[in-house]
Amino acid sequence: MSTLSPSDYDAIRLSLQVAVAATLLSLPFGFVVAYLITFGRFRGKVFIEVLVNLPLTLPPVVVGYFLLLLLGKHGWLGALLNHAGIRLIFTLKAAVIASAFVGFPLLVRSLRVNMEGIDPELISASRTLGARWYDTLVTVILPLSLPGLFAGSSLMFARSLGEFGATIIVAGNIPGVTQTMPLAIYEYASSPGSEDMALSLCLVSVGISMVVLLLHEMLAKKSAQKG
């Protein structure tokens, strides 16, 4: 088995970077959306639920293509950002955005399951004791949602590590800049004579994913014991 090349280390670093950034970026949004879906009562809730879960079933390439239409040079948001001197397409930021979109439903799902498990009496107790809705949110719901938050983040992190379809469209494939692990593996897989290189990077990918999932299982067990 051959060792990893410098560009492979770059790819591993970039993958981790993208996964961390995408997960952190999604946390506040994920929490708000999960809260609204679980406790909110408003028209069009089903629509939001479907919209949030859509990237789960949509081919990532479709997500990537929509993002390209939106953020590309000729996209309406992309053109706007271009005027402001911000460029997203073919940068690491685009990879983060792509991963955030694809991983978001996993985060929301874990949080929702967790929030639905919160004893409603705890919530009404806090309300009858005079807590405003935001007090209840911060002092009751948020602490009780932490296991779901961790479980969801770890799942989303693992998903982001493997993001390929949307990433290759919006972030391109620039070694050392936007080439994440899956992209590097794809490149190896389509070039003759680099089977060993592809395999060593695949093994790294398997290793990282297993560690993250193991962590996820441990967290899930912990939260199950509590509940």
Contact positions vs another protein (CB under 8 A): 68, 72-74, 87, 89-90, 172-177, 179, 187-188, 190-194
To another protein, the closest distance from the beta carbon of 74 in angstroms equals 7
**Cβ distance to another protein smaller for residue 158 or 187:** 187
Ramachandran region of residue 37, left (φ > 0), alpha (ψ -120 to 50) or beta? Answer: alpha
Enter the tokens of residue 158: 């693992």
**Cβ distance to another protein smaller for residue 176 or 227:** 176
Q: Tell which residue, 140, 137, 163, has the closest CA to residue 26.
A: 163
Enter the tokens of residue 105: 């439903």
**Cβ distance to another protein smaller for residue 78 or 105:** 78
To another protein, the closest distance from the beta carbon of 75 in angstroms equals 10
**Cβ distance to another protein smaller for residue 53 or 194:** 194
Compute the distance between CA of residue 12 and CA of residue 18 in angstroms, rounded to an integer: 10
- Sign of the dihedral defined by the CA atoms of residues 67, 16, 104, 163, in that order: positive
What is the secondary structure of 178-218 as a DSSP string?
A: T--HHHHHHHHHTSTT-HHHHHHHHHHHHHHHHHHHHHHHH
**Cβ distance to another protein smaller for residue 92 or 118:** 92
Q: Any alpha helices (H) in the chain, and if so which ranges?
A: 6-39, 45-57, 60-71, 76-83, 92-116, 120-128, 133-136, 142-161, 165-170, 181-189, 195-226
**Cβ distance to another protein smaller for residue 24 or 79:** 79
To another protein, the closest distance from the beta carbon of 160 in angstroms equals 21
Q: What is the DSSP letter of 137?
A: I
Please report how many Cα atoms fall inside a 13 Å half-sphere around the Cα of residue 46, on the Cβ side: 0
To another protein, the closest distance from the beta carbon of 202 in angstroms equals 16
To another protein, the closest distance from the beta carbon of 25 in angstroms equals 23
To another protein, the closest distance from the beta carbon of 179 in angstroms equals 7
